[in-house]
Amino acid sequence: MIKVENVAKSFVLHNQGSAVIPVMDGAALTVAPGECVALIGASGAGKSTLMRMIYGNYTAQGGRIMVGDVDVASAAPRQILELRRNTLGYVSQFLRVVPRVPTLEVVAEPLRAVGMDSAAAEARARDLLSRLNIPERLWSLSPTTFSGGEQQRVNIARGFAFEYPAMLLDEPTASLDATNRAVVLDLIRTAKARGAAIVGIFHDEAARAEVCDREVDVSVFTPKAVA
Amino acid sequence: MTQDNPLLQVESLSKFYGHRIGCADVSFDLYPGEVMGIVGESGSGKSTLLNCLSGHLPPDQGRVMFDTRADGMRDTVTMSEPERRMLGRTDWAFVHQHARDGLRMNVSAGGNVGERLMAVGARHYGDIRGAAIDWLGRVEISEDRIDDRPRQFSGGMQQRLQIARNLVTGPRLVFMDEPTGGLDVSVQARLLDLLRGLVREMGLSAIVVTHDLAVVRLLAHRLMVMKDGYVVETGLTDQVLDDPQHGYTQLLVSSVLQV
């Protein structure tokens, strides 16, 4: 479902003396439906970078990134937009929302985007928010003023609302207490059971051990000159 | 959202002022439901480009192919003036930065909206008024203002009225020139929410010119960055803003103040 082949990435900072920062070379990864693969490596090794490249948020300077039939590294913007709507979900480390939109709406949005009717979308959103222990009185408020942990749970609710065949999870259990951590791991297990291919970054080793089938160390892809 | 046929196909569009470049060699495709942002600083050519695309300025070179439903892809640059005007009343809309440039200030709010319907053949007064009330409601202008003149409205309200006037005929492509420029921050925010919602509900395609990167991140799926008349970078909005490749884009992105 997800296949990263010989991917290279470097940043060129044109306004800072044209500094070239090679980050990755020969990156490779395969994830089958129903698998959860963990990206590991020291902070700064390129875990989030690789995840963003799979999502099409960062460019690749070489190689192929196949998600289903689409090569994200070379696809047209509209193909990636469609992929993100129907196929590839991404739960980033930080909640990024349009200000002033109520929490319920934030979570229901991905479902509306695929054409689900309002009532059904909201019902699913409510269900997820309840499972993630976000009090009902907060559902009509914008999540921008919530605590870090609450924001993370809203982020997760939004990420799991639609049943994507492929998912990218960046630190999904960070900032969570034991109860909510368990809920999230359960959501991941359910996604795997329905055949989702998942790539995850977990600093929490116990969480990683519970849901991940394999680990891929991204420091292996750090270019030799830099390592 | 994705269809095989682009709604708009722009090929090598250029406009010169003597030896000065207005915009040069701009090409892109726009698909139904896509919002394209055009950003750049003053003098980048973004407004010139928008005016050439929308038929307000004749370009010196290039084609702007639009998927007219009746006749397939037609080059709007070489269309006759009456044909282009008809397009401007039906399938296309233009939201000006200053609402007064896109409204009839001496006509009531309801009249501003209803006029557009009449221009495309609506005749029944009751239906027209009903549609006007409905649209004013969608842009959050209360029904009791329907007979007031736009002069009596605040800036934000005038802009919302301009949007209603433009969208009432159900256009497929909307051009916007700094739609939130000059408005107070809270008013801007409300307007952006409205635009986002309408774009999504109506499946509109839009081309939005702005110097404000935050507006573009919120509103646009794709982005073109312009400098000195040229498009220096283009791609998915989040990708261009998060992983800018061109030196100028990097400069723009790093210059934005954090709140």
Q: What is the pLDDT of residues B213-252, one digit of tens each?
A: 989 998 999 999 999 999 999 999 999 999 999 999 999 9
pLDDT at B258: 67
DSSP string, B93-136: EEE-SSGGGTS-TTS-HHHHHHHHHHHTT---HHHHHHHHHHHH
Nearest to B1 by CA among A70, A73, A121, A79: A79
Q: Between helices B185-202 and B155-167, what is the axis angle to 10°?
A: 10
Q: Please, what is the average pLDDT of chain B?
A: 92
What is the ipTM score, two decimals? Answer: 0.91
- B31 touching A (Cβ < 8 Å): yes
Q: Residues A72-89: what's their mean pLDDT?
A: 96
Average pLDDT (A73-100) is 91
Q: How far apart are CA A99 and CA B46, in angstroms?
A: 27
Task: Region of B18 please: left (phi>0), alpha (psi -120 to 50) or beta.
Answer: left
Of A57, A78, A80, the CB nearest to B243: A57
Which residue did the predictor score with more confidence, B1 or A124? Answer: A124
Q: Which regions of chain B does DSSP assign to beta strands (E)?
A: 8-17, 20-30, 35-39, 61-68, 72-75, 92-95, 173-177, 205-210, 222-227, 230-236
Amino acid B1: pLDDT: 43
Gap from A98 CA to chain B (nearest CA, Å): 7
Phi, psi of A129 (to 5 degrees): -60, -40
A73 pLDDT tier (thresholds 50, 70, 90): very high
Output the pTM of the full model.
Answer: 0.92
Residue A224: the pLDDT is 76
Please check the confidence at residue B3 and state whether its pLDDT lies above 60: no
Half-sphere exposure of A19 (CA within 13 A, CB side): 6
pLDDT score at A225: 60
pLDDT one-digit tens code per residue, B118-169 = 988 888 999 999 999 999 998 999 999 999 999 999 999 999 999 999 999 9
Contact status, residue A24 vs residue A218, Cβ threshold 8 Å: yes
Judged against a pLDDT cut of 80, whether residue A14 lies above it is answered with: yes
Whether the CB of A12 is below 8 Å from some CB of chain B: the reply is yes
CA distance B66 to chain A (A): 18
**pLDDT at res. B121:** 87
Q: What's at A66, amino acid-wise?
A: M
pLDDT digits (tens, 9 = 90+) for B157-169: 999 999 999 999 9
Q: Name the burial class of residue A101, with classes exposed (0-12), middle (13-18) and buried (19+) by CB atoms within 10 angstroms of its CB.
A: middle
Average pLDDT over residues A2-17: 94
Interchain contact, A77 vs B247, CB within 8 Å: no
How high is the mean pLDDT of chain A?
Answer: 94
Q: Distance, in angstroms, between A182 CA and closest chain B CA?
A: 32
